[in-house]
Amino acid sequence: MDPTVLVPVLLVIALAIFFDFTNGFHDTANAMATSVATGALKPKVAVLISAVLNLVGAFLSTAVAKTVSEGILAQDDQGLPQITVPMIFAGLMGAVVWNLLTWWLGLPSSSTHALFGGLIGAAVIGVGFQAVEWGGVLSKIVLPALLSPFIAGIVALCATFLVYRITRMATVDGSSTAFRHGQTVSASLVSLAHGTNDAQKTMGVITLTLIVAGAQEAGTGPQLWVILCAGLAIALGTYLGGWRIMRTVGKRITDVKPPQGFAAETSAASTILISSTLGFPLSTTQVTSGAVIGSGLGKRLASVRWNVVTRIAFAWVVTLPAAAIVGGGAAWAASAGIVGLLGVLVIGLAACAGLFALARRRPVSADTVNDESLDADRLGARHPEGEPA
Amino acid sequence: MNTAVLRADVSGSLASEGGSILLVFVVGLAATVIIAGLYALGIRFFAVGAPDVVVRHGDDPEGPTAIVAPREHARPRAATAAGLVCFAGVAAAVLYGIYLVIPLFH
């Protein structure tokens, strides 16, 4: 393979694996935030379980990987989207930068939306509006995104109300311990389901790149090394843990108690599994965040911090367009040949390094994940009226 | 693809997506309420004979004000059996969940 093709392909693979890593540590919070908050699992144990289950999940199925861009990017007669390798690189860069920015802000936004946003932006700038299936974007991304938090929220609200009623506000002997055990099981199911979905998206992008570059037959599934790399990257990211986001989901939306954690994770697990089974997969991030909000409402209407919820909702709305803008800008620069591509690489890596440096100024770790007093001037620390002390 | 076809496509797919999302909601709500309810009932059955944790209204049953009293009398056999039935139902649901996640099984 000549170097002008090989270099971009290698860059895409490296960046895709890095994206997968950010996806892992962004989404640890989905499954494990409530378990850490209620003390059902020690923080390090929680991320270890989640990491292992994500790795296992990556090997279970490659169905999603084959159809990663289907219905989102327009395809030609061979079933390939009209996208070039530098455009995929640009799209990934948009996704990575957005993922790190929301991580720094401690906001649980969807990594999938960031990925598709980046690819859509790159495709629009690189090819034009006809390169994107807008109907598919509406029905597969926008509509589920708008509805899934409400669905999960209502389900979790009903479940929380019910378990509190049955256990007389959790005063029945042994309730808290039992709810913690139950929560560990349902959170593990969420992790496994996450692995079967999210690691696949990276595999799909790498496979798409190899096909577009002519290194792999069209219509074939991901190769073993791709599955292995993607699985390990997401597991490593999960293990290192996005403590910043975990604290938002487990402590700031509402202070999650064992019955709520149980109800929220059980709602999330069943909603995610049922939606994938019925062929209408919902975003893990949005389902779990919605379920946590619902579990706060199910206990007492006033115990949800709406200013935190508003920020999260805002991040959800802007994730796709913001990643699209970064991806589009990167695609424009990358279209100027290898120099442009390297420019995108340097600027992108500088942005990532900057965000890591900013995060180190106010670190959140396994030891401080449940400590709310830490950054009193940040996200959601203002206690609204009527908040129990 | 001309605009008329495009529009028909979008509205058609939106209608069907709307239908499936309603189905997800209904099935998800029913399944969650049954599973979480069974688990809570199991806890309740297993606690027969043990006094509730005493807290002031609205206080945390794990908080510093909570008073946990020892068990008053042994759990009746019927309560143990009923509790086990509830937990078995939940365990079956979890196994079905694992079955759904692993495509090798279906």
Give the integer Cα–Cα distance in Å for A102 and A120. Answer: 19
Q: Residue A193: its chain B contacts at CB < 8 A? A: 101
Q: Average pLDDT, whole number, for chain A? A: 87
pLDDT in tens, B2-12: 333 334 344 44
- Mutant choice from A64, A154, A171, A295 vs B, greatest count of B C-beta within 10 A: A171
**CB-nearest partner of A189 from B53, B68, B97:** B97
Please state the pTM of the whole predicted model: 0.88
* Residue at token pair 């990663």: A68
Would you state the torsion angle of the CA atoms of residues B89, A282, A319, A315, taken in this order, to the nearest 10 degrees?
-40
Coil vs helix vs strand at A73: strand
Q: Cα distance from A349 to chain B (closest Cα, Å)? A: 36
* Residue at token pair 């180190």: A360
Report which residue type is found at A108. P
Where are the domains positioned within chain A? 3-361
As for the ipTM of the complex, it is 0.86
Give the integer Cα–Cα distance in Å for A179 and A32. Answer: 15
What's the token pair of residue B74?
């042994």
DSSP state for residue A216 in the 8-state scheme: S
Q: Residue A156: its chain B contacts at CB < 8 A? A: 32
pLDDT in tens, A167-189: 988 888 889 999 999 999 999 99
Q: Residue B101: its chain A contacts at CB < 8 A? A: 57, 60, 189, 192-193, 196, 273
What's the token pair of residue B21?
């999302």
pLDDT in tens, A125-181: 998 998 898 988 888 888 888 889 999 999 999 999 999 999 988 888 889 999 999
DSSP state for residue A299 in the 8-state scheme: H
- Mutant choice from B14, B43, B44, B102 vs A, greatest count of A C-beta within 10 A: B43
